[in-house]
Amino acid sequence: MSNSGLNIIKIGGNIIDDEVLLDSFLEKFAALPGKKILVHGGGKIATRIATDLGIEAKMVEGRRITDEAMLRVVTMVYAGLTNKNIVAKLQVLQCDAIGLSGADGGTIKAIKRPVKDIDYGFVGDILHDSVNTASIKKFLEAGFVPVFSAITHNGLGQLLNTNADTIASALAVGLSSLYDTSLVYCFEKNGVLKDINDEQSVINSIRADEFLQLKEDGVIHDGMVPKLQNAFDAIQKGVRNVYIGHANNLHLFQQGQFGTCLTLK
């Protein structure tokens, strides 16, 4: 394992949809020292452009159905417009970013999600060996900052729309064999909260055993459960720790005061 650390930061669509928030976040990201990777979600731009093109955006239980027409849109928006916009903004901040989809450099391979109750279309599921760590290491060691969009490929020429949280986690797990890796999820809360209505009630750190207790007590519930479950899975597979906090507070990361830190023990 390389002695150097690696931070993998994931930002959600709510930041991408807001130019002011995005600019502020990217300044903080660019200022982070050392090796780093940015993973971004899609935001609402794809839905707006699909509507402009007369393509219906289909959702089932909050998840996008990616048919052939929608795949063209999300590829254009996620891997094109959004990704290159972020890369261009980072270049202004003297952060030598390189925009990637999973197809570029064969970095992330996925499989098309099998059809069960719902056919999600061209949606990619990531496997344990999906991440091409050797390829990504070349970018990192050359001094580039990879910026990954939520598009992967199946190795047979087919692009796939893939969940950005899952991509960030898979990258962290894969690269933890080469670097001392931390995974940072930036979202719209200050961290995991004791009281969902009180932004100041951040739980500073949670161990795996404490997570089970907080879940049982009903402190952690709904959408936070799978988010934290995935985070602890990543830690068990070699990621040093996972942080969850507000994108506005990324500048506090170096001081160890960012959001909630999840650790194994």
- Write the pLDDT tens digit of every residue in 183-218: 999 988 899 998 888 889 999 999 999 999 999 888
Annotated binding site for substrate: 42-43, 64, 161
Angstrom distance (rounded) from CA 84 to CA 116: 35
Residue 49 in tokens: 């452009």
Query: What percent of the chain has a predicted confidence (pLDDT) above 70?
Result: 99
Cα 179 to Cα 126, 173, 185, 220, distances in angstroms: 21, 10, 18, 31
Cα 89 to Cα 14, 19, 26, 85, 94, distances in angstroms: 17, 11, 8, 6, 9
- Write the pLDDT tens digit of every residue in 132-174: 999 999 999 999 999 999 999 999 999 999 999 999 999 999 9
Instruction: Provide the pLDDT confidence category of residue 2 given band limits of 50, 70 and 90.
Output: low
Between strands 260-263 and 241-246, the pairing is antiparallel
Residue 32 in tokens: 């982070």
Return the pLDDT at 3.
52
Between strands 5-11 and 35-40, the pairing is parallel
Q: What pTM was estimated for this model as a whole?
A: 0.95
3-state helix, strand, coil in the chain (%, to 5): 40, 25, 35
Angstrom distance (rounded) from CA 41 to CA 168: 10
Angstrom distance (rounded) from CA 76 to CA 82: 9
Annotated binding site: 42-43, 64, 161
Between strands 35-40 and 145-148, the pairing is parallel
